[in-house]
A = this chain, B = another copy of it.
């Protein structure tokens, strides 16, 4: 209805459904009259939110969004501190590390750093994944209370890969475990061949929680090494927790079973 909401709808749609779009396509997808779609897209292009492919006359995401978007998280002290800590861990271990945040039933990568090992795992900032099928997601979900989790998974989504939890009960079981031990791992749950270990920390001032993770080739990292990586994360998280006034992740469960 408002000019802004139309523009944002276009961006959201464009973010999900491929990199390009034409007027008719957008009009159909968003239920707008063609004339409106045409005007909105043109206005967005004029302002730099979109660009127009000179050859195909279709619209794509504009450079402005790239420039502005990368500032996401900048200036949040916890993010900066966690990022620095993870840079050090990648240097020491050679494994990929990163930071994710929870968004509904998804996790979004906020910062990431490729490892130096041969088999590289890359999930660039902005990547969205299933919270129930990632170690980072379950660490963050574990900080919500059980009612909230149940509400978010009212209809349980299809598992991305066979190893992912297939029901709310299965998910809650894993979440109870996260609350007990303070960290989580995942193996081939959302990406084939990829394993990860994670912990969560929050800034008590803002109540915003982050998950820190190691990601690696599931085949090349054995149980022992995963434990060691998890220990490194817990150590880093503990240091951040005292600095930012967080309760340690292991005791953060506020649910009925916490």
Residues of A within 8 A of B (CB): 2-5, 7-8, 11-12, 14-15, 18-20, 43-44, 47-49, 53-55, 60-76, 101, 103, 108, 110, 113-114, 116, 124-128, 205-208
Task: Give the number of times this chain occurs in the complex, counting copies.
Answer: 2
Q: In the complex, are the beta carbons of B64 and A66 less than 8 A apart?
A: no
Question: Contacts A14-B68, A44-B4, A114-B114 hold; do A205 and B62 have CB atoms under 8 A apart?
Answer: no
17 contacting pairs across A/B (C-beta < 8 A): A2-B3, A4-B4, A4-B43, A5-B47, A8-B47, A8-B49, A11-B64, A12-B68, A14-B68, A14-B71, A19-B71, A54-B206, A54-B208, A65-B65, A67-B69, A67-B128, A69-B70
Chain B residues with CB under 8 A of A70: 66, 69, 124-127
Kindly list chain B residues whose C-beta atoms are within 8 Å of the C-beta of A11. Answer: 64, 68
Q: A2-B3, A15-B67, A65-B68 are in contact. List 11 more A-B contacts (CB 8 A).
A: A3-B3, A8-B47, A8-B48, A11-B64, A20-B75, A54-B207, A55-B205, A65-B65, A65-B69, A66-B108, A67-B108
